[in-house]
Amino acid sequence: MKIRRSERLIDITRYLLERPHTLVPLTYFAKRYESAKSSISEDLGIVRRTFHSRGTGILETIPGAAGGVRFIPTISKDEATEFIDEMTTELSEQSRLLPGGYVYLSDLLGQPDVLRTVGRLIATQYVEQQVDAVMTVATKGVPIAQSVSAYLNVPFVIVRRDSKITEGSTVSVNYVSGSSERVEKMELSKRSLKQGSRVLVVDDFMKGGGTVNGMKSLIEEFESELVGVTVFAESAFAGERAIADYTALLSVDKVDSRDKTIHVAPGNYLARTFK
Amino acid sequence: MKIRRSERLIDITRYLLERPHTLVPLTYFAKRYESAKSSISEDLGIVRRTFHSRGTGILETIPGAAGGVRFIPTISKDEATEFIDEMTTELSEQSRLLPGGYVYLSDLLGQPDVLRTVGRLIATQYVEQQVDAVMTVATKGVPIAQSVSAYLNVPFVIVRRDSKITEGSTVSVNYVSGSSERVEKMELSKRSLKQGSRVLVVDDFMKGGGTVNGMKSLIEEFESELVGVTVFAESAFAGERAIADYTALLSVDKVDSRDKTIHVAPGNYLARTFK
């Protein structure tokens, strides 16, 4: 009997971690392990306490006949702070400096452990809000969108600057690129977003906010609603940003191409998420 | 004491699932839970048996002072077959047909549960080989590369058709697009791939194989080695493909734009992976 409980706990943990934000009825587990609902209930209590004490997330109980449990991944303030500090150091590396004051990020945003944590961070910020889809613009925002989408368990959609014949009909908008003041075009496949969706916008980098503002217009074209905007890093911008209300994990305050120095600080994420 | 073991099992499971292919010393767990190494050893035995019996993956034990355990995610043949059958039905949907005989895939490749399973499938195929990086071409291959990279716990790199100023110096190659016979260009940031890497190429769709062949040339430019090629779906192609040795999860055999029918069958994945 002791072995059975052990096995159940391991398998329940795995099952829930793979299905965040999904309601799982107690009867599902009772059937899967051929166990009494009372035993499963006890198991879930242990999982709930352990997830809580280790900062893994919340195991919600929904009572009643249509009820069950739902795992909501979160990150603790300590873990979030530690990660952001680590990234601050990483981004400040002189070797990341590119001509034109850009900062090289592609290596970080191709590392599975970095992406996992970024996903958990952003998902935690929106944990109390209804999100139906995560939106980003190709290409560099995609890994962030995908990771957030995995933790929120909702689809992500990719806005493109270039039309692709494999997307079918699209809806397009024009937008002003904040940094260059040029008018550009972005589009989204018509069938990729349902009308009335609540959309979270994420991206890797924000300068003037023009791209994010374009996505905002696109969301309006789909008669949907913007829930929030979170970017991995924002950079200093002389002038008014096209978007005022956004969250940044990191802030690239000053880039000096001559001295080859980058000054990076934590963004407003921590203050906005852990009030 | 019973509670302690329960908590340990839950937290060990979570810890290992988040760190595939990572060697974790027993002493790490012993310290984390203030428990004897013998107890941790017993815990890991239970985790190993449960992971095995439930098809979660392999928990390898590396003996010796520098040893520990390493979790290797895999998928069972049954689960793989079920998923591929499901996708076969999904892809055969008439509404996926786009002008020019293309098949709409973006919704599937934006769904976290689909991507998780695709990642596990492809990671299982290469479980016995050394892979240092996963490579794909922007934009639609990215979600697949990211998911495989998470399960193999190696970085992924994105090849681009358009130059981006935020990538720094790049290495480029020309390649012949198999379907259109045009000569095109693709490039990869110089610092994104180390010399001597063993690279796994993944993509969403393969027609003539020209794009994959381009990536093969790029890998050679980086003095690296191609480990294998796996695509989500291949389509029928009249003529010789630029790449002969590849794996496809699905095969779009026939698309009839007039009758509006798509015929999809499982690809060679199952036969190649579960010998």
With beta carbons under 8 A apart, name residues in chain B contacting A111: 155
In the predicted model, what is the mean pLDDT of residues A196-215?
Answer: 96
More confident residue, B27 or B240: B27
* Shortest distance, CA B143 to any CA of chain A (angstroms): 7
B92 and B52 in a single domain? The answer is no
Residue B237 pLDDT > 90: no
pLDDT value of position B71: 98
- Chain-chain contact of B115 with A167 (C-beta, under 8 angstroms): no
- Chain-chain contact of A11 with B54 (C-beta, under 8 angstroms): yes
Closest of A4, A61, A35 to residue B6, by C-alpha: A4
- Chain-chain contact of A166 with B104 (C-beta, under 8 angstroms): yes
- Chain-chain contact of B107 with A192 (C-beta, under 8 angstroms): yes
A119 and A217 in a single domain? The answer is yes
d(CA B177, CA B53): 45
Within 8 A by CB and 6+ apart from A265, the residues are A88, A250, A251, A253
A115 and A197 in a single domain? The answer is yes
Closest of B212, B217, B215 to residue B231, by C-alpha: B212
A37 and A157 in a single domain? The answer is no
* DSSP single-letter state for residue B160: B
Dihedral angle sign, alpha carbons of residues A184, A157, A123, A250: negative
Q: What is the CATH number of the domain that holds B24?
A: 1.10.10.10
Where does a domain end: B25, B41, B73?
Answer: B73
Where does a domain end: B53, B73, B93?
Answer: B73
B235 and B100 in a single domain? The answer is yes
Chain-centre distance for alpha carbon B141: 10
Label residue B182 by pLDDT band (50, 70, 90): confident
B135 and B223 in a single domain? The answer is yes
pLDDT value of position B99: 84
Most confident residue range from A205-214, B95-104, B170-179: A205-214
pLDDT value of position A236: 85
Residue in A8, A14, A152, A158 to test binding to B, most B beta-carbons within 10 Å = A14
Q: For all residues of chain A together, what is the average pLDDT? A: 94
d(CA A74, CA A127): 8
Total domains, chain B: 2
pLDDT value of position A177: 82
Give A33's Cβ-side CA count (13 Å radius). 25
* Shortest distance, CA A274 to any CA of chain B (angstroms): 24
Within 8 A by CB and 6+ apart from B106, the residues are A157, A158, A166, A167, A189, A192, B140
CB B41 within 8 A of CB B26: yes
A157 and A30 in a single domain? The answer is no
| Domain extent at residue B87 | 77-273
Where does a domain end: A73, A88, A122?
Answer: A73
A19 and A107 in a single domain? The answer is no
Give B192's Cβ-side CA count (13 Å radius). 32
Helix (H) or strand (E) holding B32: helix B26-32
B180 and B200 in a single domain? The answer is yes
ipTM of the complex model: 0.95
* Shortest distance, CA A76 to any CA of chain B (angstroms): 15
Q: What is the CATH number of the domain that holds B130?
A: 3.40.50.2020
B161 and B148 in a single domain? The answer is yes
Buried b (16+ CB within 10 A) or exposed e, B257-270: eeeeebebebbebb
d(CA B264, CA A244): 48
CB A249 within 8 A of CB A262: no
Residue A28: C-alpha distances to residues A35, A231, B94 (Å) = 10, 38, 34
Show the tokens assigned to A80: 């979030």
pLDDT value of position B2: 47
Within 8 A by CB and 6+ apart from A87, the residues are A108, A114, A249, A250
